Amino acid sequence: MTQNENSPTSFQGLEPRDILCADKIVELEKVDKSCNQESWCVAWAPDCSYIAWSQGGGIVYLLPWAPDQGQLLKKPTRDQSHENLSEIEESAFIDNLPRLSPADDTENEDDFSWNENPGPSCQQHKMEAQRFRIDCMDYVWSMTFGSGVSRSNCNVRRRFSFNSDLILLTGLQGGKIKVWNVYTGNLIMELLDHKSNVHGLTVMCNGSLKLASCSADCTIKCWDLNNDGNMYKTLRFKENVMVFDCKYSPTCKQLAAVGMNKCAYVWNLSNLNSPRKLTGHLHNVVHCDFSPDGALLATASFDTRVILWDPYTGDKIKTLGHMFPSPRPIYAGGANEHYARCVSFSKHGYRIATVADDGYVRVWSLESLSENPVDIAETRKPLCCSYSSNGHVIATGNRAGKIEIIRPQHVEVARLQHMCRMKIRQRVQETQQVDHLHFPFRLKEYLKYKEL
* 113-122 per-position pLDDT tens digit: 223 333 334 4
* 178-193 per-position pLDDT tens digit: 999 998 888 999 999 9
Residue pair 424/417 in contact (Cβ under 8 Å)? The answer is no
As a whole number of angstroms, the distance between CA 8 and CA 211 comes to 41
For residue 21, is pLDDT > 50?
yes
Q: Strands of 220-224's sheet, edge to edge?
A: 198-203, 210-215, 220-224, 230-235
| Side chain identity at residue 180, one-letter code | W
As a whole number of angstroms, the distance between CA 112 and CA 311 comes to 43
Flag the least confident range among 26-40, 207-221, 237-251, 319-333.
26-40
Provide the percentage of residues in the chain whose pLDDT is more than 90: 62
Question: Which residues of the chain does CATH 2.130.10.10 include?
Answer: 19-414
As a whole number of angstroms, the distance between CA 385 and CA 355 comes to 7
For residue 88, is pLDDT > 90?
no
The pLDDT-based confidence of 373 (bands split at 50, 70, 90) is very high
CATH architecture group of domain 19-414: 7 Propeller (2.130)
Residue 155 backbone zone (phi > 0: left; psi -120 to 50: alpha; other: beta): alpha
For residue 90, is pLDDT > 70?
no
Residue pair 362/10 in contact (Cβ under 8 Å)? The answer is no
Decide: helix, strand or coil at residue 111. Answer: coil
Q: What is the pLDDT of residue 410?
A: 78
Flag the least confident range among 67-76, 189-198, 241-250.
67-76
Q: What is the pLDDT of residue 174?
A: 95
pTM of the model: 0.86
Q: Mean per-residue pLDDT for 200-206?
A: 95
For residue 75, is pLDDT > 80?
no
Flag the least confident range among 165-174, 280-289, 297-306.
165-174
Flag the least confident range among 56-65, 294-303, 391-400, 406-415.
406-415
Mean pLDDT of the chain: 84
